[in-house]
Amino acid sequence: MNLIQIDSKKCRLCKTCQEVCFRHLIKVADGRVDASAADLNCAFCGQCQAVCPKGALVHTGLEQAEFQPVKGKNGVTAEALIEFFRARRSHRNFKPTPVPDDLIMAVAESCGYAPSSSNDSCLGLVIIRNSDKLRKLSRAAFRHLSSSAATTISLYEKPGRAEPLGPDQKNQLERAKKLSRFLATAPPDQDPILYHAPVVFFVHSSPYTNFPKENAMVAAHTAMLTAHALGLGTCYISLMAKAANEQPRLKQKLRVPQENEIHAVIALGHPKYHYARTTPAREIPVQFVGE
């Protein structure tokens, strides 16, 4: 049986399925639809079935219950969506209240709806909500980052160094100094890495796929927007990702395959504070080229 089945009684040969298949596996010609090429090269994105106006096409490799009617304009106006974006904040202060399992899973499952390159993301999620384990991970990351920054500063500011620093080395030195200052000035009762978050997501990906970092970051941001919609607070924790990728033992504790890279770490919890006002948007240079 072919992966893609066509009901010839419903099909109107409109070629919509042919045009949306980005791998060009569906051909409409001579009064019929030929989708046999999908048996070997399908990306399993489901676009062909989702777009068919007559419901004449069925992708037998996908869960049929997942194909649901789209309601109008999805119930979201552009104005409401932008206001939603403006109200989202990065939270570094969390209530000790546990996050219910259903909310954690709703955030996790939202990653599966994020766009990815050729529908080939190969993502993995590690979720930790054990406070003792999170505290140990944070301390290990703190020690590694402090040591790493100190080593870089010592190397590039070595007395008697004759060779001038290049642009990349100057940037590394400045970043190391900035990190060292940040870690050194953290209050004793504060966790400057994971901020005592009750739940932390680690988004990792296999390197043997198309654009693993980009896929992971889009999925991570989808999760953060979902959390915001659920009334939860989040924050990207790039320092934890850096430490885990540089320290094999940390990655091992997370049970992430050593060849995979952790592209995003997200602190998640009930926000301790609610922001009464939005903040200014960052100004991003915009150019129209070729006009």
Backbone angles phi, psi at 230, to 5 degrees: -90, 5
Find out whether 265 and 244 touch, Cβ atoms under 8 Å.
yes
Q: What stretches of the chain adopt beta strand conformation (E)?
A: 4-6, 27-29, 32-34, 57-59, 123-128, 199-205, 233-236, 261-269
Model confidence, pTM: 0.88
How far is residue 249 CA from its own chain's centroid? 23
Name the burial class of residue 116, with classes exposed (0-12), middle (13-18) and buried (19+) by CB atoms within 10 angstroms of its CB: buried
> For 168-198, how does the pLDDT look when each residue is reduced to its tens digit (9 = 90+)?
999 999 999 999 999 999 887 889 999 999 9
Q: Which helix (H) or strand (E) holds 91?
A: none
> For 84-131, how does the pLDDT look when each residue is reduced to its tens digit (9 = 90+)?
999 999 999 999 999 999 999 999 999 999 999 888 778 999 999 999
> For 134-149, how does the pLDDT look when each residue is reduced to its tens digit (9 = 90+)?
999 999 999 999 999 9
